Structure formats: structure tokens, C-alpha cells
Structure 1
Amino acid sequence: MTSARPQRVCVLGATGSVGVNTLDVISRHPDRFEVAALSGHRNIERLAQQVRDFQPARVVVADNDARQQLLARIGSGSTEVLVGEAALADIAATDDVDVVMAAIVGSAGLTSALAAARAGKRLLLANKESLVVAGDLLMRAVAESGAELLPIDSEHNAIFQCLPSDHRRQGVASVLLTASGGPFLNTPAEQLATVTPAQAVAHPNWSMGAKISVDSASLMNKGLELIEACWLFGLTPDDVEVVIHPESIIHSMVRYIDGSVIAQLGTPDMRTPIAFGLGYPDRIASGSAPLAFDPSLSLNFDQPDRDRFPCLRLAEQAIAAGGTLPAVLNAANEVSVAAFLDGRLSFTDLARINEAVMGRIGSTAVESVEQLLAIDQQARHAAEAVIEARRV
């Protein structure tokens, strides 16, 4: 993607783990990239430092209070400070942006990711919920606008790299989606009910935010990634094999009908897939450490235990049913994870809440973004009601 001028990048969710790593990669290539826009939620100190470092033309924050806090730190310079979801969509779709890194966590990132797709941008998708909630709408928007969608989740980025060069499924038998198994991979089932949020967010390999870390611990993250893979690569759930790989060295694989299996390996560092997306089709330096092939390197594999980690099974059921059920599951899970982090639920309650909400609301055919957002809110209210009922 080389050009006469630097590519102008918008980083949505700049203060989170993926956003910080994106800016790190960009900083290594000032001749190739410039930061045109940023968004952040509540980490105003970090966002202010990013504004000072990268001097974006525009930055978006959650509300007017956050805006005033940011302005107090950056002064009245050349950066315009905007507020709210509509502003997120605007900076993602503006003509002044070439590349959009969609790294807002949760369904809150859906509208801006769709705006980037509809505007024909290069969309680097780290927000898996956009595909989980609205996969049909997002993929249709990409096709209609001519946008370029590159997956940034390490697993989907690995699959993308292992597919044929035309990225069609010619000769592909299945994809193998690897999962570390999280911090509770070997925890006895009877102890899972008493694990703490602090234990759940302590991922053995990756440095991530609290929500995605809990999802990794419950294997919900792998379930959401399975749904994402189906949309990205035109797969059915039967085409996706989930494989436990505790070392997180093989990021995913593709199995071919001739018996070949092609894998993408690397150290567990999100800068690798980020650099792939920013530079594609060129390879650019990411800053990640090279993988050392020495006696300490170990590669182990196992099958996921869906009885101990039923969230994976729920995600498989949701994508098999289709329609709006993945959106229901995603919303219920966001609420249940927040309740767990707040100490209102046990770890084993996560799957119970999610399954109860799926049963209450069910699935209908996807019609529009507005419909999906309404169902998202319905599922959130249902999840809160189920949580409160369990506490009585």
C-alpha cells in the first residue's frame, strides 16, 4: 500500500490495548503513516498524551465532560475535539482518512465500523463485535463500497495469511482456530465458581483489556471469534475447528484437502497483525520480538472442554441459528462480564446468564442496524433482569 504521501490513519479506541499498539507501529514508520484522527473513552490522560505526540486533526471523546477534561490538558491547539457516536462515524468516513483501525471494544464500535465500510476505507477490524452483531450488514457494506477489510484479531489475521493468495476457499477443508485456553485451562471444574475477577483478567500470554480477558478465560472470546471467522471467510460452524494451544505461538491454521496444514507462527504480540494490516501487501517492521526456535519452544494441543466452558457451545449455537441470536448473545455477555467484574456474579454464572437471555429473546431475521441496536438494548435489559432475579 505504498503511495507518494503518508497514509492517513484514524484509530478508533486509541487508548485501549490495540489502539496503543497501533500507534506504536505507526510511530516506527513516520514516512508511511500519519495520524488523522483518534477516539478515546475515559482514559483522558493517555488520550491527551497521544494528541500531543501525534497531533491529529480531530479527536472524539464520550461526552462534554470528557471534552472539557481533554481541552484542559491539550490547550487550544489545532486538534478539534468532538463528542459522541455520530462524531465517531464522521471521523471514520471522512475523506481525510484512508485507513480506519476499528478497536473500540464491544457493540459500541459497530456504527463507526459500518461507517468506515460504507465509505470504502481500508478497515482494520479489531472490533469483533461488529461482525458478531451485524456480520451480514458489514460484509454487504464492504462488498458494495469496495472497502478493503483486513482482520486484526491475531487468529483471523493468521487465517487470512494462510489462505490462498486470492483468499478464496479453493482446496480449503477447514480452518483451525487456536485458543490458549486462558488462565483456567487446567482449573478443576469445581473451583471455577470461586475464581476472582483478578484471576480471570490475568491472561497467561496476552496483555489485553479486562473484558476481552474475561472472555478469553470463559472461552467466549473463542466463540465470538468462531462467529467472526464464519462471516470473514464464508464458512459454516462445521468448517471451523477450535484447538487449544496454550503457548499462543501458532495463531491459527488452514487445513487443505490434500492433507496440508499451513500455520502462521509468531510471538504473542498484537503489533504483528497490526503491522500486517497497516502495511499490506507489504511487510513492515512491527517491533515485536522474533520467534526463537530453541529447546525452550514447546507446541502443545488439546480439544476444548465445552462442559467446563459452555460459552463456546453457546456461540456455536448462536451462529448455527443465525439471524439476530449472535447479537443477543453478545449483548448478554457484555452485561454479564461487567457484572462479574463488579462482583455481582460468579464466573460460572456467565454462561447461565447468556443462555437464559438467548432463550428469552430468541432469534429473528436481520433487517437493519436500527433493529440490531434495538435488540441489543432488549438483550441488555433482559440480562440485567436475570442477574437481579438471581440476587434476590
Structure 2
Amino acid sequence: MAVVIVQPAPGETPPLVSRVLAAAGMDSRTVLLTDGEAPSADLYGVEGMIVLGGRGCGFGETAGGPALLRNALAAEVPVLALGTGTRMLTAGGSPAARTASGAPGADRAVQLTPAAGADPLFAGAEQPPPGLRPARDPLHLPADTVVLASCDGLPAQAFRIGGSAWGVRFLGRNGAADPWAAGLLGRFAALVTARSEHTAARAFFTRRAEAWEERFAHQTPAYEAGVARMRLAPGGVAVDLGCGTGRAMPALREQVGAGGRVLGIDVTPAMLAAAARHGRTRHGRLLAADCTRLPLPGASVDGIFSAGLLDHLPDPYAALREWARVSAQDGVLLLFHPSGRAERAARHGCPLDPSDLLAEENLRPALEGAGWHLDAYEDADGRFLARAVLRARTRGGPAAAQPARLPSAGASG
């Protein structure tokens, strides 16, 4: 697990930053933004980013920030900007809507705002200690900024942009803020760890989203043939889970008809934005969500189509249970890939793995354990397909939820 430390010029990384990251078992590497150098924009292996300031730090305020930071924000990689590094963060965000500034004067106490109590990073934090130096320089804040710490006359001393980027502007004097800063860095390291699986997926797919549809357009007939095997009734609710650019959504809409509902769900906002650009909102709604914690009522879905997702999840068994929770009685789950297992293994220069979850002898008990009955299994050149039906629910069991109305989910991106 790696955290990138972005600095505007050569210099030693603050010992506190290095110490906290090392204690959390994280590797770190430094990216310098010196004149004439263009750091790589590749996020491969990057689970978090810390942006440090420096004397005269203003890099990227007019250029929109370095590409590495812009890519991190787009892929929702957790970012923590400290001191004047917050200028770089705000320059990489959305267009400015307001300005935080204050007139010089006596030091004022920095206080957490009520919003900090529900913030993913600041929740549980103590109030900052006395002896801090609030930032006084103007800072242009993106429209979606949430202020997390402020002081009288000097607003926005700490803030969050979107759901994955934080800025902390105030500084300690004579080490007065070290314990508080150590706690902040420790919580950031814990957040990076907790989000690492999703971060890796978003980083991988975000930079591929723009070309994804064109690259795999030839697979559309295979997707249509796979969806046809679901045999859903008109008026039902169908989900394309891990939808990417939503290639299965038109075929799902054709099955459930105008009176049915189609949802395309993916964890990568850039993929959903690409799906919207390619007109998939004509066939259903797009929703950014974790496929193991679906924001859907129990027993509300009639069919789940999932292509190339299950065996890449950190806990596929939990995913199968969650998919059973949201499925109605006799709901259909179709696991699909436009290539067979042997075909994919050969493409990667590997033999078939006997422990592969998608092997029939492994998949059948995994499905049964989550409440599904496997009624069709095909693994051949040109297609992998496994069709399962939800078995009868046990009275009072975890899958015994009652049908409920689906929440409205607008197009993401």
C-alpha cells in the first residue's frame, strides 16, 4: 500500500508524516513539482496522496494543478493537503464559487464545525489545541466544499472537497499541534487502508473510461445474448451490476419493457459518466455504489446481470449474500464474461487455476451458501455464463426482507 507525497520543491518530508505512515505499514514516495519537470500522471499502486506546501507555494493555481493530482481527484483517491498545499488542491477541483480570507490580526482559536462530526476523516477528532496559526491568505473554494474547521473572521481553516479530498490550512507553533496533527494523519492512514480496494478499482478504470466503450464495442452482441438467458418478465426490476459503460442496459430494458426499471451500478464515477455520454440514461438510471453494500431495499430486484465482477471482489461470498438480500423471490442472477475461463487464462499466459471461484465445483457451493441455486453453467470459448435463481426464503432469516419501493437514483457523472 503506497501513499504519494507531493512537494513543490526538494526538501525533507516532515518527520511526523513519515513516522505516522510507517507506523501504519504504508510505503511512501515523494513526487517533486520542480520547474521544468512533469511528474507521471499514472496512479498505478497509489492508494492515497498527501500534498505539502512550502514557501511561496502556488503551483498549478492557474493551470489547474498537476495531472497527477487531477487524476487522483477524478478517481476519488483519498487526498490530504496541508498548509499552503491546499492551494494546489483547490486549483485541481471544480470552478471556484466562494473565497475564504481574513484580515491580519490577533490569533483566534480554530474550532471544528458541526459538519466535522459526520466527516469520514474528522469524525471523532478532538478540537484543535490552542497555539495555532490560522491561515489568512485568500483561497478560492470549489462549489462542493464542506467547511470542517474555522475561526472568527478567518473561515475555512479545514475543509473537504467531494468525498475524498481534504485540506487543512492552519499550522502549529513550536510543535503545539503535533499530537493533533498525528491524530489527523493516523485517521487519514486508516481511511486510506479502508478504501484501498475501491481506490485501486477506481484508479484503474478511471483512466480507461474514455476509451472503454469503443475498445469493447464488438462484445455487444455477446452481452445481448447473455442478457437474453435471464428471461425476465415485463415490468420487473433489472440491475447491471458493475455496469461500466452500461453495455447490458439496452438489452435489460428490452426485457423488462417500458413498465420495468433498469439500474446501472458501478463504483467508478468516470465509468458512469462515460455510460451517460453513450446514452445509457435512455435505458435506465445510473448509480455510484459499492456492490457489496447496495443502497437498495430487500427483495426489490428481479434480475441481476454481472459481467466480470464476482471473482475480482475482495469478499465474493459477502457479495453473493448481499445480492440475495436485494433480490425478490425467484430472482435471477446471471454471471457473465465474453470469454471462457481457459481463454482468459491463456491470454494471460497462465494455466487454469483449480481454486478459481468461477470453476463450477467452486461456484456451485458458493452460490448455494448464499441462497442461490445454479441452474445453468457454460464455460466455453467465447462465453462464460452461470445462471442462478434465488431459492425460497427462510422465515425470519436474513433474506426474509419484504419488497419495498426502490429509491430514486439519478444519472451519475
Greater share of strand residues, 1 or 2?
2
TM-score by length of 2: 0.28
TM-score for both structures, normalised by structure 1: 0.29
Between Structure 1 and Structure 2, the one with more helix by share is 1
Q: Report 1 or 2 for greater relative contact order, CA contacts < 8 Å, sequence distance ≥ 6.
A: 1
Q: Which has the larger radius of gyration?
A: 2
